[in-house]
A and B are shown apart, each in its own frame.
Chain A
Amino acid sequence: MSNFKINVRESSTVNVLDLKGYLDAHTAPELEKAFQNLLEEKKYKIVVNCRELTYISSAGLGVFMAYIEDVRKNHGDIKLSNMSPKVFNVFDLLGFPLLYDITKDEADAIQKFTSAKK
């Protein structure tokens, strides 16, 4: 029924979340759960691929804000990639690019993790 889907991939040491659809107050708990699961497994290197994300509301933005602190405390990060211009605009408006790495490409984001490791 839900018009929002999350797919979790693990590529090398980085975990990628593929977001698809409409992220709002109703679907935000799903993303929250996904982050929680990753944190429980002590996976702190997270890339969120927004290629198929069509909409994000303030509740959706709030989820990223809720976990970034914990993730960074554990020397990890949440990086965002592949945003459509419309979605990027929402992130941008709130100043997300000031706080988060937002890359054009998922590979770039992963690259940043691996290069930082070295």
Chain B
Amino acid sequence: MSPELPRLRKKLKKAALLTIVSVLFVAVFGIDVVNWVVDIDWGWLNAARHLFLIGAFIALYFLIESLWKREQSPAKKLSFTLVLTVPVGISVAVLALLSSTTFDVKNDVLIPSGFDAVLLANVYGVVIGSMMLIVLLILRDIILSRRRKGLRRNLLILIGLMLAAAISTLPYARTESGVLSSVLLGLSISLMLVVSFRLPWIVYLPKREKLFSMAYCFVLLCVFIGFSIVTLGESSIGRALMFYSRPLLTIIRSTGLFGAIYFGMAFATTLFHLPTAEAFDRKITEVSSLHNLSRLVTQVFDFNELVDSVTKMTLEVCEAKSSWLEILTVTTPPRGLLGDPRSDPMGETVSLKNITHEETHAIMSSNGESIRKLVLTSRKAIVIDSVRDDKRTEHLRKLNNKFGSMVIVPLLSHEALLGILYATKDLEYGFDKEDVELISAFADQATIAIENSRLIEKSLERERLAREMMLAQDMQRKLLPQSLPDVPEVDLDALSTPAFEVGGDYYDFKMLDDHHLGILVGDVSGKGVSAAFYMAEMKGIFQSLSKIYRSPAQFLGQAHEALLGTIDRRSFISMIYGVLDLRDGSMKIARAGHCPMLFRSGGTTEYVKPTGLGLGMGTNPFFKKTIVEETVRFDRGDFAVFYTDGVTEARPPDGEEFGYERLQEIVQSAETSSALGMRDAIVMAVDAHMRHEPPEDDLTIVVVRWTGKTG
């Protein structure tokens, strides 16, 4: 279905209703004209006239309802009522004054003085009747805008009573008054009082709107009293309306009364609430800003946005002239323990509102005891009622009385000072007790918010670091050999696990030429990130120098030289380097402060420990002199085990180190014929020794098993 259709239907409905209303009003007028011309009392015509009128007002009701905006606030509706009733009232009054028509009473029947009287009666009836219908609907909406038990019921009863009073007048002649209608009117007046009694919408109006609505209500009260007087009395308008329709007059009268009562009550209520309006307004702002701030606490992660809201709301809640926040960059430790009241923590002024950096600086610093310092030491809010007279703000007098009064509140969190909140007013004695309490409450909320945002920042930072470390770990894993060299003469296996995300252990293999395989294991002193950097450097050194310096001793000497420029005096790298000749199974080994190699050959397992300083220790020529090369010869099935001190120094909590003897024993007794088997035997032994606790140090094992011919 096209969306145009319902709209079209609504328009058609309105047009139809308007037509019905106009036709019926015209018909009534027509009947009146006929009655005027032909002076015969036709009962059926009169009955039809009544029906037409009722029909006209029912249609009018639907027409108004279809044009209605229900969601308007009571205050808006008030002004609308004013705009509607005042011009109508004035024009009707003017019309009544200008015209000289009268209705004579003859045998309780109203006789119009002329044709113009009939016309005027119709105009009054339509205009005032329509207006009162609208007023009634407005009153209904205002009253129902705040739901209360029984209110809707009372209102419906009231309208029912008004209608009943209207209908009860039908059997009577035009000027006759009936007892029943009087009783019904009395009842409806009492109900009017009931439904007008409590007007909660007024209470929540801001002060400005209260003043406005009070004025509106007063004018409306006068208007409706005027209408009531006019319609109740024997005025020409009253007569004309009575002539037009007695039931309508009854409804107009009671609606006028209702309006007078309701707006009178509203006026009185507003007047009654006016003295507390300001306090009420403030409470409302207070509640809403505290609410906003506490929402901020949980929602705003951006520090700048947060502090900005804090000062902005400070301005709002106590109508301060300027406000700013000082965030202490180094939070003070709890007082008494380590806190030194003499040392002023550094602060950063942020989020300035209506004030310049120069001015805040002038306020915060002074030669004597600055107010800032007072807050820092007392950790309590300070109120300066008169900047001019207060001794603590002597230094501000030269600022041309720019500041009348000020409040300085500390942001305290668990006794640690996060910052200071400042607010100033132009007036002296501008901050009363409530203001200070409010700003203090505000500062508490701000403290939580700031702390929250800092914690979030911290945890984000931690997350970022964790991610970085993951990346680093990945990178480092790639620095270790991705595959073992495929050499038929040797069976190799290796394992390296860092204690933390990254470590300082390193091992590598390199074919130096067709017949020589370099096997390197190194260990950077220390653990973690710093060690990882040196480990990466080792990789570079090995890859670039190993092919140039073929002998292990030569290589270590060059590696030391390369490292000397970069390595910290406290750090060193231990390294063991073997170059295996694949043709005869001989391996030259040099050691730079590293754990000795284990060599299982024939039935024995021995440590091979040539002398040598750790890399990075001692001057260059001296270092080279210390490095001694040894040679071992493999027979088929012999094992060489390289490792780092993570193996020998593996120590369970409150236990002893794994040690060299244990390692020697394991290697000696391992019943295996593969490098992998040997590696796993060692790993399992260490793990058992650690009672399956995670290792505290980086741990590396490289196993070489000779499978080539015996030289």
Contacts and interface: CB of A to CB of B under 8 A. Distances in A.
Interface of A: 25, 58-59, 61-63, 65-66, 69, 89, 93-95, 98-99
A63 B618 contact: no
16 contacts: A58-B526, A59-B525, A59-B526, A62-B526, A65-B569, A66-B570, A93-B595, A94-B593, A94-B613, A95-B612, A98-B611, A98-B613, A98-B618, A98-B626, A99-B613, A99-B618
Contacts of A63: 570
Chain A residues touching B, majority SS: helix
Contacts of A61: 525, 572
Contact of B614 (A59, A66, A69, A94): A94
A94 B569 contact: no
A95 B617 contact: yes
B594 A93 contact: yes
Contacts of B611: 95, 98
B626 A62 contact: no
A65 B570 contact: yes
B574 interface: yes
A95 B569 CA distance: 16
Nearest to B571: A62
Contacts of B613: 94-95, 98-99
Contacts of A95: 592-593, 611-614, 617, 626
Contacts of B571: 62
B31 to A, nearest CB: 110
Interface string B572-589: 101000000000000000
Contacts of A66: 569-570
A25 B499 CA distance: 14
Nearest to B616: A65
Nearest to B592: A95
A65 B612 CA distance: 16
A49 to B, nearest CB: 22
B533 to A, nearest CB: 16
B186 to A, nearest CB: 92
A112 B85 CA distance: 118
B574 A62 contact: no
Given A98-B613, A98-B618, A93 B574 contact: yes
B142 to A, nearest CB: 75
B557 to A, nearest CB: 13
A73 to B, nearest CB: 13
A58 B524 CA distance: 9
A58 B612 CA distance: 16
Contacts of B617: 65, 94-95, 99
A59 B596 CA distance: 20
Q: Which 6 A-B pairs have the closest CB atoms?
A: A62-B570, A58-B525, A95-B613, A94-B593, A94-B614, A66-B570
Contacts of A93: 574, 593-596
A106 B571 CA distance: 27
Contact of B525 (A62, A69, A98): A62
A65 B614 CA distance: 11
Nearest to B569: A66
A65 B572 contact: yes
B572 A69 contact: no
Given A62-B569, A62-B570, A94-B617, 8 more contacts: A59-B570, A63-B570, A66-B569, A89-B660, A93-B574, A95-B592, A95-B614, A99-B618
A69 B570 CA distance: 11
A4 to B, nearest CB: 16
Contacts of B568: 62
Contacts of A99: 613, 617-618
Contacts of A98: 611, 613, 618, 626
A94 B278 CA distance: 82
B374 to A, nearest CB: 39
A58 B141 CA distance: 86
Nearest to B609: A93
A14 B577 CA distance: 40
B618 A58 contact: no
A26 to B, nearest CB: 12
Contacts of B660: 89
Contacts of B612: 95
A31 B430 CA distance: 61
A64 to B, nearest CB: 9
B397 to A, nearest CB: 51
A69 B618 CA distance: 9
Contacts of B596: 93
Contacts of B594: 93
B264 to A, nearest CB: 82
A69 B593 CA distance: 19
B624 to A, nearest CB: 12
A94 B570 contact: no
Contacts of A62: 525-526, 568-572
B626 A94 contact: no
A69 B569 contact: yes
A88 to B, nearest CB: 13
Most buried by B among A61, A94, A99: A94
Nearest to B613: A95
Interface in B514-530: 525-527
A58 B595 CA distance: 13
A1 B527 CA distance: 23
A94 B570 CA distance: 13
Interface in B609-655: 611-614, 617-618, 626, 645
B398 to A, nearest CB: 50
